[in-house]
Amino acid sequence: QQQVKQSPQSLIVQKGGISIINCAYENTAFDYFPWYQQFPGKGPALLIAIRPDVSEKKEGRFTISFNKSAKQFSLHIMDSQPGDSATYFCAASIGGTYKYIFGTGTRLKVLA
């Protein structure tokens, strides 16, 4: 129940295309859903996050879609660029527990 399932494991997209990464969870107590971006040799960095009171959040080319009833959320990267090539992690947390459960990661490669 504490798992967050992420797919796909890897993704190759042409420059200018849309990258979509999906995550699913079981625990309805989760109330914070961030996405982290990790470049090789670096630590993960927060990209965008959403709380379950909204169904969508957009920041620039990055959008989180959240479906509370289906217990799913996804990251959409519009107009994907080679500089977006990185590993992306979804995560979920429950406020006050200090515990963040990470998905297994998606390696995105954007071809020039």
Partner 1 sequence: DTAVSQTPKYLVTQMGNDKSIKCEQNLGHDTMYWYKQDSKKFLKIMFSYNNKELIINETVPNRFSPKSPDKAHLNLHINSLELGDSAVYFCASSQSDRVIAGELFFGEGSRLTVL
Rule CB under 8 A: which residues touch partner 1?
Answer: 31-32, 34, 36, 38, 41-46, 49, 87, 89, 93-100, 102, 104-105, 107
**How far is residue 104's CA from residue 60's CA, in Å, rounded to a whole number?**
25
Smallest gap from residue 79 Cβ to partner 1 (A): 25
Backbone angles phi, psi at 84, to 5 degrees: -85, -10
Cβ closer to partner 1: 19 or 106? 106
What's the min distance (Å) between Cβ of 34 and partner 1?
7
Nearer to partner 1, 36 or 110 (CB): 36
Nearest C-alpha neighbor of 111 from the set 73, 75, 83? 83
C-alpha distances in angstroms, 56 versus 20, 34, 51, 112? 14, 13, 9, 29
Smallest distance, Å, CB 33 to partner 1? 9
